[in-house]
């Protein structure tokens, strides 16, 4: 076993920095717009309860599996899987887990920095007062004009990518840790400030009602499916980021309690974001919409109508930018760590090369919203839609499912016991059931329902 070894890339200084780093990886753009909306649309508090159950039986077990595999291997996800399969005389095909995660993360990074660039653009727009007193038409027109201008999108994509490359080039201590020490506390402070502002708005009670009304009549099989998917995707699972971060986790740190805290933090941020956004939206008589329409049209319009809206609207997009940065640096780490190990190269040079390739791939995403809007890769999927679909709906679920199976059935019980501190037979059986049966089965259901919705609905109809 390698529980006493250290990673060549460095180690987290303490448990809480790992918690903040992993929470930063989990807290991204989806937390701020997606979770609050789908909770409100699927029974409010009833959905939140179902989601928490899914986190407990799907998200947390798979996250624990990623962390323990990473800490046992102490290398990049690819080399960790290679090392463990060789060490325990298992099939080399398991190494594909590492490759799938790294490739998926790299693809996600290529378009993530483009969308994160939109948040930076809106920091400037809100801060300059361009949206002060905006109307629905002017807010929509600003967003549409921005998306139709590839050069402007590329400029903001480039600025964001340079920020990410600079941080990851500095290493675990001087780069990742230093960024996390600043960005995560500031993110929490900004969220609390915005939450306080929302409490004073006329739409506070309506926003709380939207998110927390306990209405089980609105819960359907599709709601449960959405909760399962959100529980998996929100924690950045399946892309190797958590495995890479786990490689830097000091020995002796409890994986179970640490991962539970991360999951709770991620959920708390998502709920707080909803409570900060929707009261302001409702106070202006606006309809909550899902996706970019909420974040880049509805929210700017809402802030533009409120006293001090320029100030708090700017803070909101600074918050979004911070969340995007912490996620982007975690997505970058698996590929970066592998290239440093494989070619014994300097981290700074690899970071620049990696950033340049990812930036180049991201141009396809930029053009998908304007010049290539009518170009379809498969069916009606644009370049951006295709990359997003393959990475999010195929590679990540498969990666997460096989990570759970590897941790439950391939690694020796002695390794699992040492990494998780399992001392009783009952605890070992519980781990096998949750990580080896429940979690992968749930991810498989999400995978099938996403790729083959007609087949899934036909099966559900039978019951």
Asked whether residue 7 is domain-assigned, the answer is no
Residue 122: predicted pLDDT = 96
CA-to-CA distance for 298 and 169, rounded, in angstroms?
36
Residue 1: predicted pLDDT = 45
The confidence band for 292, taking pLDDT boundaries of 50, 70 and 90, is confident
Mean pLDDT for the stretch of residues 315-343? 92
CA-to-CA distance for 170 and 167, rounded, in angstroms?
6
Asked whether residue 5 is domain-assigned, the answer is no
Asked if the model's pLDDT at residue 434 lies above 90, the reply is yes
The confidence band for 463, taking pLDDT boundaries of 50, 70 and 90, is low
pLDDT digits (tens, 9 = 90+) for 415-424: 999 999 988 8
Q: Are 217 and 43 in contact (CB under 8 A)?
A: yes
CA-to-CA distance for 269 and 191, rounded, in angstroms?
8
Residue 222: predicted pLDDT = 83
pLDDT digits (tens, 9 = 90+) for 75-95: 999 999 999 999 999 999 999
Please name which of 323, 364, 331 lies closest in space to residue 34, comparing C-alpha atoms.
Answer: 323
- The percentage of residues in the chain with a pLDDT greater than 90, rounded to a whole number, is 56
Asked if the model's pLDDT at residue 162 lies above 50, the reply is yes
Report the 10 Å Cβ neighbour count for 245: 25
Q: Which helix (H) or strand (E) holds 349?
A: helix 347-368
> What mean pLDDT value characterizes the chain?
90
The residue that leads in pLDDT, 113 or 454, is: 113
Asked whether residue 9 is domain-assigned, the answer is no
Q: Are 247 and 9 in contact (CB under 8 A)?
A: yes
CA-to-CA distance for 80 and 84, rounded, in angstroms?
6
Asked if the model's pLDDT at residue 301 lies above 90, the reply is no
Asked whether residue 3 is domain-assigned, the answer is no
CA-to-CA distance for 65 and 51, rounded, in angstroms?
20
CATH number for 206: 1.20.1740
Q: Are 120 and 321 in contact (CB under 8 A)?
A: yes
Asked whether residue 149 is domain-assigned, the answer is yes
The confidence band for 61, taking pLDDT boundaries of 50, 70 and 90, is very high
Q: Total structural domains in the chain?
A: 1
Residue 287: predicted pLDDT = 78
Residue 290: predicted pLDDT = 66
Please name which of 57, 450, 461 lies closest in space to residue 226, comparing C-alpha atoms.
Answer: 450
Alpha helices in 27-89 (DSSP H): 29-41, 45-54, 60-73, 77-87
Asked whether residue 1 is domain-assigned, the answer is no
Please name which of 261, 256, 240, 411 lies closest in space to residue 330, comparing C-alpha atoms.
Answer: 240
Asked whether residue 2 is domain-assigned, the answer is no
Please name which of 277, 255, 310 lies closest in space to residue 39, comparing C-alpha atoms.
Answer: 277
- How much is the pTM? 0.92
CA 281 vs CA 168, 285, 298: distances in Å: 36, 7, 7
CA-to-CA distance for 292 and 366, rounded, in angstroms?
15
Q: Which domain holds residue 32?
A: 15-462
Asked whether residue 10 is domain-assigned, the answer is no
pLDDT digits (tens, 9 = 90+) for 8-60: 888 888 899 999 999 988 888 777 777 888 888 888 888 989 999 999 999 99
């Amino acid at each position: 076993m390698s529980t006493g070894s250290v990673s060549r890339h460095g180690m987290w200084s303490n448990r809480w920095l790992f918690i903040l780093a992993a929470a930063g990886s989990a807290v991204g753009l989806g937390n701020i717009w997606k979770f609050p909306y789908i909770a409100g649309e699927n029974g409010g508090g009833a959905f939140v309860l179902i989601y928490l159950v899914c986190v407990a039986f799907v998200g947390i077990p798979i996250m624990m599996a990623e962390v323990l595999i990473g800490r046992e291997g102490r290398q990049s996800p690819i080399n960790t899987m290679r090392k463990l399969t060789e060490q325990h005389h298992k099939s080399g095909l398991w190494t594909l887990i590492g490759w799938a995660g790294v490739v998926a993360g790299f693809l996600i990074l290529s378009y993530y920095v483009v969308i994160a660039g939109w948040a930076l653009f809106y920091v400037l727009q809100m801060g300059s007062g361009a949206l002060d007193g905006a109307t629905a038409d002017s807010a929509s027109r600003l967003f549409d004009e921005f998306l139709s201008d590839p050069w402007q999108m590329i400029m903001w994509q480039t600025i964001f990518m340079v920020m990410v490359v600079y941080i990851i080039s500095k290493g675990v201590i001087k780069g990742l840790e230093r960024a996390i020490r600043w960005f995560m506390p500031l993110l929490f402070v900004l969220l609390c400030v915005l939450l306080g502002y929302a409490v004073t708005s006329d739409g506070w009670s309506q926003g709380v009602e939207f998110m927390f009304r306990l209405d089980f009549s609105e819960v359907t099989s599709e709601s449960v499916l959405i909760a399962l998917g959100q529980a998996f995707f929100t924690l950045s699972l399946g892309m190797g980021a958590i495995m890479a971060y786990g490689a830097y986790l000091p020995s002796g740190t409890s994986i179970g309690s640490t991962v539970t805290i991360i999951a709770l933090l991620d959920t708390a941020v998502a709920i707080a974001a909803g409570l900060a956004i929707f009261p302001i939206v409702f106070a202006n008589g606006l309809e909550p919409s899902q996706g970019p329409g909420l974040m880049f049209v509805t929210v700017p319009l809402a802030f533009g109508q409120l006293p001090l809206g320029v100030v708090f609207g700017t803070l909101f997009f600074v918050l979004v930018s911070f969340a995007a940065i912490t996620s982007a640096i975690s997505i970058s780490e698996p590929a970066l760590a592998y290239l440093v190990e494989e070619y014994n190269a300097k981290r700074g040079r690899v970071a620049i090369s990696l950033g340049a390739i990812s930036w180049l791939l991201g141009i396809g995403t930029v053009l998908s919203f304007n010049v290539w809007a009518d170009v379809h890769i498969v069916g009606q999927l644009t370049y951006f839609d295709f990359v997003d679909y393959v990475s999010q709906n195929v590679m990540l679920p498969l990666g997460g499912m096989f990570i759970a199976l590897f941790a439950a059935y391939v690694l020796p019980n002695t390794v699992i016991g040492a990494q998780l501190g399992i001392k009783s037979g009952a605890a070992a059986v519980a781990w096998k059931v949750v990580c080896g049966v429940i979690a992968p089965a749930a991810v498989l259901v999400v995978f099938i329902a996403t790729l083959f919705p007609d087949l899934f609905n036909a099966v559900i109809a039978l019951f």
